[in-house]
Structure 1
């Protein structure tokens, strides 16, 4: 029996095990029958994802060995790529007619004829990941998720003047190599924005007090903004006040001095991760900032980059007392927090009728079994608009670019 005499069902099983673009393209060129079957296989693909990780200097593709070890990462509606060979853009849009998210790294973008691809596929696209600025966005009139490295003037141009993109449609915005000051200069309101991620790793001028538009529907915020300034005041907590319905935040701190508005509390925030990237922490400043979130339920303090371990047991004990709704408290990579703090919280629970779950370096391994719904898996795209599941236990560089809401 020759292979082409196999029934179509067998081919569907074989092709269903393929989720690398190179393999699918090569098989589609074998004969007209295979081309038709590959088209059926790819009709329901929703996500085209670069088999890469993002580093400060750009993209670095996984090796074949790494790909083999990660072959079970993606289900049938994902296809990933490593190819650097030229690909016909219109053909690619025919291959994936129902694509929802396109992850276009710079190298792939140049080889694939991405403008032609997007211009043919834009009707189904809801999310796009671009490493640099391009007029490609003028083809996208239904985008809800956008990951970019653009200057603010270009965003204004594309949203208001140069294209069909509508700012009120954008629900998730992922900026890298950007600052809050630059975001404040964007003259669009993003009234329906639900998740905002801003990062700048190389450092720039420190942000000042935020004076941009309020974000009334923002639910998730991720800030990872470094500065070349040795000492500066961090205004991220002031920015949170401009997001009145914010529920979850992941803040990477590069300063131990925080600007806090004494007269205001934020009652919506329930989930907070603070990742310390400074030599020391002013624990009095920290308490002053956290007391402004009386309804905080889940708090994680990650001291991975803390060289001066001055976060101690007594500071943990103070935080438990000033946060009346806390139920999950995690302190990672901190030698100054010991079993003494755990014993105190256990006794505090008994005395005050609380049920705070506390994890630190000595019992951190238990959190996976106690909270199996919280993921630590690296994903560029995660399913479910759920901060606790997809962000709470991860390091800042592991956070997903997009959170795709589950379909009802």
Structure 2
């Protein structure tokens, strides 16, 4: 039997296994019958992304392209993905496809809500309806018409820039890759933030905890800290914060400042301190001021081994606390205790969970919750 003698249902079942853009376009051009079936296949696609893995393994709602693949612009303009939610236009993709063609692609995909790109033209074409954006482009005013934005990952963007755009992002819930800077505005709906303290021209003062004070509903924070001084308002208690990860990139972190920081978050449940110098006595002090901890993780710190683990765990047991403590000595136990936190790194996830995506590993620079 020739392949074209197969029933439409059989052919469609075969095409459903195709998730490579190049292959779909080639099949789309074979004949009228195949083009109709590829159109049906395309209706299932929600995510159009770049892939660098030699053996991608996606579901039928994905279509991917490899940076090394040729892009058939004519074929791409003819093939419609009517239910597309997220599109990625990599730098290599933009080298092969004109901005005007990307703009046309975006324009004809009305349901599009998320974009991974540095193509300003593509962003401006649909910024008023975007809910998710990951970009290397931090040019002024790029976010000035993004009132629907809920998830934002942006390179080289500071808290000062964010202050300028506060009126434009009233619905922002998750913010990634933000850099240090002064701040004086509120983000009422923000729940998750990832930020770094280091900005070349701002010195070694970290303003991030002031920013967190201005986000009353913030639940989770991931901070890369390289600062001599942290500005902390210890009179303000943040009741909502439950998850906190701090990566130290400076050997002489101020322990007094850290203690003042942690006292601000009485309801903290999950705390990870990475790559710092934390001896047993100091960890004892931190344990006393954090009564609601469920996970206390100091793996990667250059102190705190078996004696520390024994002391802290005994302390928790004596006081009737179910907190789990992990350091270099018992670092493997966390995987057996919390297997649900070990998930595959993905750009797109269904239901964002900070503990799964950010707590145990350094955050993926682009990740959308759809």
TM more than 0.5: yes
User: Equivalent of 2:190, from 208, 218, 223?
Assistant: 218
Give yes or no for the alignment of 1:78 onto 2:62. yes
Match of 2:92 among 103, 107, 117: 107
Which one of 142, 153, 160 corresponds to residue 181 of structure 1?
160
Q: Is the 8 A contact 1:382 1:400 kept in 2?
A: no
Identify the match of residue 252 of structure 2 among 256, 276, 280.
280
For structure 1, list consecutive stretches of 5 or more residues without a partner in the other structure: 52-61, 160-165, 201-205
- Select 1:254's aligned residue among 210, 220, 226: 226
Alpha-carbon shift at residue 243 of structure 1 (Å): 0.2
* Residue aligning to 1:270: 242
Question: Is 2:348 the counterpart of 1:348?
Answer: no
Map of 2:104 onto structure 1: 116
Structure 1 residues 311-350: aligned runs within 5 Å? 311-350=278-317
Q: Which residue is equivalent to 1:128?
A: 115
Q: CA deviation at 1:299?
A: 0.7
Q: Distance in 1 between matches of 2:316 and 2:122?
A: 57
Give 1:106 shift: 2.4
How far apart in 1 are the matches of 2:39 and 2:122?
Answer: 29
User: Match for residue 141 of structure 2?
Assistant: 154
2:82 aligned with 1:97 = yes
Question: Is 1:34 aligned to 2:34, yes or no?
Answer: yes
* TM-fit CA distance, 1:189: 4.8
The Cα offsets for residues 49-83 of structure 1, whole Å up to 9 and x where unpaired, read as 111xxxxxxxxxx3xxx422xx22x2211111115
Structure 2 unaligned runs (5+)?
A: none
TM-score, normalisation: structure 2: 0.91
1:228 to 187, 193, 200: 200
Question: In 1, distance between residues paired with 2:350 and 2:74?
Answer: 27
Of residues 347, 357, 367 in structure 2, which corresponds to 1:380? 347
Q: Deviations over 1:181-230 (max 9, x none)?
A: 12112252522211111345xxxxx62x312x201111111113522369
SS in 1 for 2:152: strand
Confirm or deny: 8 A CA contact 2:138 2:154 kept in the other structure: no
1:17-44 per-position Cα deviation (integer Å, ceiling 9, x unaligned): 2222112222222222222222212211
Return the alpha-carbon distance in structure 1 between the equivalents of residues 188 and 139 of structure 2: 20
Q: Distance in 2 between matches of 1:18 and 1:365?
A: 39
Instruction: Check the 8 A contact 1:152/1:183 in 2, yes or no.
Output: no
TM-score (norm 1): 0.83
Which residue of structure 1 aligns with residue 48 of structure 2? 48
List structure 1 segments (4+ residues) > 4 angstroms apart after TM superposition: 89-93
1:266 to partner: Cα distance? 0.7
* In structure 1, C-alpha distance between the alignment counterparts of 2:203 and 2:129, rounded to whole Å: 42
Q: Secondary structure at the match of 2:188?
A: coil
1:361 matched to 2:328: yes
Across the aligned residues of Structure 1 and Structure 2, the Cα RMSD in angstroms comes to: 2.3
**Partner Cα separation in structure 2 for residue 265 and residue 116 of structure 1:** 49
